[in-house]
Amino acid sequence: MNSTTPAQDRVALVTGGSGGIGSAVVRRLADEGFAVAVHYAGNPARAEKLVADIVSAGGSAIAVRGDVADETEMAAAFTEAEQAFGGLDVVVNTAGIMVLGPIATLDLDDLDRMHRTNIRGAFVVSQLAANRLRAGGALINFSTTVTRTQFPTYGAYVASKAAVEGMTLILAREMRGKDITVNAVAPGPTATPLFLDGKDEETVTNLAKAVPLERLGQPEDIAETVAFLAGPARWVNGQIIYTNGGLA
């Protein structure tokens, strides 16, 4: 399902766009007037439902599929978005997985699986964005506030996200002269299935209380930061934005 949009309008591709934070980002960008390509890996029904909601509200959206770590599949997803809307101005890379466990006992297969999506996937998407975004565009990757808080059991996940931060900061410098900003958003504890899975009520409550604002973040809180970086924030470049209610 799709709706056409004038070529001069801004176009965004959101990886993991049918997920918790991803779907909030998609809705916020659609509200801002973006045509949006909603990327998914394995749940077409959820992505198509989101597309249908946007189109029925008068927006422009399509669903595109691809394994973020597969450069051929993701190149095809980029091409599909470009063909539908005339080009790409913003890429938001929310796709990621999180497996928690102590470093001493973490299953190395889980480490490899997480690094394939979080590191290779971020690299593939960043590489494509660097070559295909139009002037005036923005790439927004995703890290985590736990790179600062250093919570136990997050070691492998933080290792993958620290790699994302490193490549983001370097790519921003490599894009000199192209008028493309490259930043990363590092959410704090946010009420999404990815965050809540496997945590008991006491753990969730304690994490919420640790934040000076004394609540978990909502996906819409994160989407607000993304919309800022995708739109008016042309002088914010090569930065990690910690959107975490003051946790760290």
The rounded distance, in Å, linking the Cα atoms of 188 and 207 is 10
The rounded distance, in Å, linking the Cα atoms of 60 and 166 is 33
Contact 244, 145 (CB under 8 A): yes
**Beta pairing, strands 138-142 & 61-65:** unpaired
The rounded distance, in Å, linking the Cα atoms of 38 and 119 is 21
Annotated catalytic sites, by residue?
157
